[in-house]
Structure 1
Amino acid sequence: MKRRLFFKRGLLASIGTAMAPSFSLLGNTLKNQGKAKNVIFMVSDGMSMGTLSMADLLHRRKNDTPSTWVSLYQQGKVARAIMDTASANSIVTDSAAAGSSWGGGMRVNNGAINVGPMGEKPMPILQKFKNAGKSVGCVTTVPVTHATPASFCVNVPDRNDQAGIAEEYLKLRFDLWLGGGAKYFDSQKRTDGKDMFGQFAAAGYQVVKDKDALKKLNPGSGPVLGTFAEDALPYTIDRNNQQLLGDQVPSLAEMTQKAIGLLGTNDRGFMLQVEGGKVDWAAHGNDTPALLYDQLDFDEAVKVAMDFAEQDGETLVIITTDHGNGEPGVFYGDKADDNFDSLLGVGCSNEWVLNQIDSNFSPKQVIELLDVHQQVRLAVPEARLILDKYQNLEKTGLYNPRKLPFELLATYQERDFSVHWANNEHSGVFVELSVFGPGSDKLPGMMENYKLHDFILETAEI
């Protein structure tokens, strides 16, 4: 397949894509028949329907073309369903339980990874594919040891044991992990001092830590562990606008392209899990710029997978999310169009801009910072309220450990972007499920999340 260049430079490079040519519905039906040699499972973590809608809207207003995911609906290329996302102990799931429903084929309690309420430990799906002689791997924009990739790989009672998950990965001898999370492999960052990078290298893994090293990998060079950030990868909007990040950190599409190239040399096929994990993190932070550009980054990866699958003819592609988060949307107003269009000129995430502020800032400095980088214009009392939040930042938390004033800033940005957030937590709404390739004709219109596990196995005849 032809290789493409992704996200070369500039704020809007991530959404300047050409649409793949359509083919007839008859051709699509023929491709749906038979066994899936390969499976690509794509997850935009925490993607609410409003996120998909706004990202498509942003893409259209820049390029006059739909996003890849929505174009698949418009062209009739995918089967489409809605999916119930509940966990074993709640109608509102976390990512560990949601991923385990796919990975292990059963619902588990929130916080657990493929460990059931009665201690059950179903074999994760990538282990099943590996045992069938196929190549397997995970790609993500968050730590490779985070809940979603881990849920395809291991059985652990606590999703927070990412250092332990790194050790479990070594035992599996999977073919590829690409993403963030270097601190869980680095002897200088682990509390136990174990050199997991060294142990992976000794086991024959190619250990890569920047984009250039990733590009140089060739099929047949052995299994790969790639970590491109200490924790999660930077948001797409920051990577696109900061040259150092752009030079060092690959996009999700670039990692997906490389992963398919490496795994696809196996004559027996492969299964690849791809996660746009920071869509969820942006939703937890009500970070509109980060959310939409990371969703478009995921959309670029969808195009990579679809380009391969359409040419290959034996690949099942699943495109979905594990749950909603924050339930954002663009809302009516006299200036809604112009306000939303201002997101085309935003130069950074809320996370980046809030981390530039400290308690010594004046209100004027806060106002200038937001105006220059985001075209967001605060009043002096609003800037003072933001500064008040910087008096006691160092606290604990999974997605916002410093307790930066994300929610407060988002309420002010609503005036500038016309984007409103309902909350900053997961929701129990039904979600989008799209399927292309062998088996897609058998997709029911409504599916419970855990049933997708067997759907994949049956389609791949494993």
Structure 2
Amino acid sequence: MKRRTFFKKGSLIAAGAGLLSPFDLLAGDNSRHSNLPKQGKRAKNIIFMVSDGMSMGTLTLADLMLRRKEGRSSNWMSLYNKGTVNRALMDTASANALVTDSAAGSSSWGGGVRVNNGALNVNPDGSFNKPILQKFKEAGKSVGCVTSVPITHATPAGFCVNVASRNDQPIIAEEYLKLEFDVMMGAGTEFFSKEDRKDAVDLFQKFAQKGYTIVKSRRELQGLSSTSGSPLLGVFHKGGLPYVVDVQSSKDLTNRIPSLAEMTRAAIRRLSQNKDGFVMQIEGGAVDWAAHANDAPALIYEQIAFDEAIADVIDFAEKDGETLVIITTDHGNGNPGLFSSDKKFDLLQTVKQSNNWVINRIKPDYTPSKLIDHIHAAQGFAINQEEAQEILRYYQGANAKSVPVDVFARIASKYTGVAFGSTGHSSDFVELMMYGPGADQLPQFVKNIDLHNFMLDATAVNAPRA
């Protein structure tokens, strides 16, 4: 964006700010901008990308790492630098709190109404808000979700279902079966496998009976026919996918676990066969998990993995010319930042394992020296004897358990320079950008609920507005 244009728009926003009541920003307010501009050129497709729990510090750390390690900017920041996208800030509150969770955050986009934390498109009075992928599916478009955490998790589910509690993931998996969406990929085998479900129902078999192609490994995903039009269910791991930094250090995991970018490319190939277009959500869900754990190695490389998927999406959209790309997050988490020397931060260029990997492999019989060696081999720095003894206290005695994540993160931060403000979500306004048809209609500040109608208007889909 040209400097003069930027300041011209900024002045207009500043002038209009006094017209907005401060109460418009409170949690629970479902009013929306009445002056959202009408769309010009319509989008045939929408790709909605969510780096779940991405504080601004997370975006910064990933960009700094790529600059130091590879001599290039992140794809996200490159889009800003080129001025080819429209950028805004977004308010992320839920119906009952200034600090949202992922269920309410995604439901604000999916249903267009703020709901209480923990709910998926279900209002406090029990009424439903129809999820946006159901609206697009009824309009004839192909729809789907891709994530690095369970496909039944809060963020993809917020685009898809009406369920009172985000924790009812076995029920969410059953709802997906009923909805017959075109592509669903991520983790969470325990919600589909008869061996893990309490009701012993084999949902994999039921999806196959409905004509779905089922893939459970990276190799199977890579072997898919590029021209097959059958619906696709890909579930690649129990729980969430292992952190990218751990996958990269394991030949076995590398062979079994697809990257977010690989899943994204496969989904686009499948969904784009529909002449009437498609709408999909892509989530870097493990960014949020790493932020909760204050796990700097996991966080940075999960964000970089999400950034690699951005490159594939923008490449498709540039060639296609009919795709609106929306890239954002549902809330901040952890508020990490670099607070020390470049030299310390550079240790993370060669880190081999996440904090999670390190913590879960510490044994009660470790000596301080053994623990020091264990951490050094995995992460490249050597803690001192006192720090080793502090960690080992959690693994020894009658009430032994693993070291709390924030304790390990606090010690590690002395050597990497990356520190966190908390292990929870924040109320920060978050980054939002758009590329493609309709992107020029993005105001510079929006509420999360505004995006529901924005997407419907961008595609001119004749469905009830929220």
Q: TM-score, normalised by structure 1?
A: 0.89
Contact (CA 8 Å) 1:393, 1:404: kept in 2 or not?
Answer: no
Q: Quote the residue 2:288 is aligned against.
A: 280
After superposition, the C-alpha distances for 1:210-249 in whole angstroms (9 at most, x for unaligned) are 0111112223341111011011001111111111101110
Instruction: Measure the CA separation in 2 of the matches of 1:391 and 1:230.
Output: 29
Partner residue in 2 for 1:125: 132
Give the C-alpha shift of residue 375 in structure 1: 1.3
Aligned letter for 1:140?
T
Percentage of matched positions with identical amino acids: 53
SS of the residue corresponding to residue 241 of structure 1 reads: coil
Q: Which runs of 4+ in 1 moved over 2 A?
A: 218-221, 390-395, 402-405
- Alignment of 1:370 with 2:378, yes or no, is no
1:210 alignment counterpart: 217
339, 352, 355: which is aligned to 2:360? 355
| Residues 120 and 105 of structure 1, relative CA distance in 2, 3 Å threshold | same
Question: Given residue 260 of structure 1, which amino acid in structure 2 is its aligned partner?
Answer: I
Query: How many angstroms does 1:403 deviate by?
Result: 5.8
AA at the equivalent of 1:387: L
Give 5+ residue unaligned stretches, structure 1.
Answer: 1-24, 26-31, 396-401
Contact 1:180/1:229 (8 A) holds in 2: yes
Number of equivalenced pairs: 423
Counterparts in 2 of 1:68 and 1:100: CA distance versus 1, 3 Å: same
CA distance in 1, matches of 2:293, 2:335: 12
Determine the structure 2 residue equivalent to 1:328: 336
Shift of 1:43: 0.2
**Which of 380-389 and 124-133 deviates more?**
380-389
CA contact (8 A) 2:291 2:333 kept: yes
- Tell me the residue number matched to 1:340: 345
**Displacement of 1:166:** 0.5
What secondary structure is seen at the aligned counterpart in 1 of 2:308? helix
Q: TM-score, normalised by structure 2?
A: 0.89
Residue pair 1:101, 1:449 contacting (<8 A) in 2 also: yes
Are residues 1:382 and 2:387 paired? Answer: yes
User: For 1:402-453, what per-residue CA distance to the aligned partner results, in whole angstroms no more than 9, with x for missing partners?
Assistant: 7642111111111111111110000000000000011111100000001111
**Whole-angstrom distance in 2 between the partners of 1:360 and 1:164:** 42
Q: What is the CA–CA distance in structure 2 between the aligned matches of 1:208 and 1:326, rounded to whole Å? A: 34
AA partner of residue 208 (structure 1): V
CA distance in 2, matches of 1:63, 1:283: 23
Partners of 2:111 and 2:76 lie apart in 1 by 26
- Give 5+ residue unaligned stretches, structure 2: 6-38, 462-466
1:52 aligns with 2:59: yes
Letter in 1 for 2:380: Q
**3-state SS of the aligned residue for 1:86?**
coil
Q: Deviation digits for residues 113-132 of structure 1, max 9, x if unmatched?
A: 00012222111010011001
SS of 1:73's partner is helix
If you compute each CA radius of gyration, which structure gives the higher value, 1 or 2? Answer: 2
2:87 alignment partner, SS class: strand
State the partner residue of 2:25.
none
- Say whether the 8 Å CA contact 1:206–1:221 is kept in structure 2: no
Counterpart mapping for 1:54-453 below 5 A: 54-218=61-225, 219-331=227-339, 333=340, 336-391=341-396, 404-453=403-452
**More deviation, 209-218/261-270:** 209-218
Contact 2:375 2:382 in 1 (8 A): yes
State the Cα deviation string for residues 46-93 of structure 1 (Å, max 9, x = none).
Answer: 000000001001001112211000000000011000000000000000
Paired residues of 1:393 and 1:403 also in contact (CA < 8 A): no
2-side partners of 1:64 and 1:197: how far apart? 44
Distance 2:409 2:423 in 1: 11
Which residue identity does 2:106 align to in structure 1? G
RMSD of aligned Cα (Å): 1.5
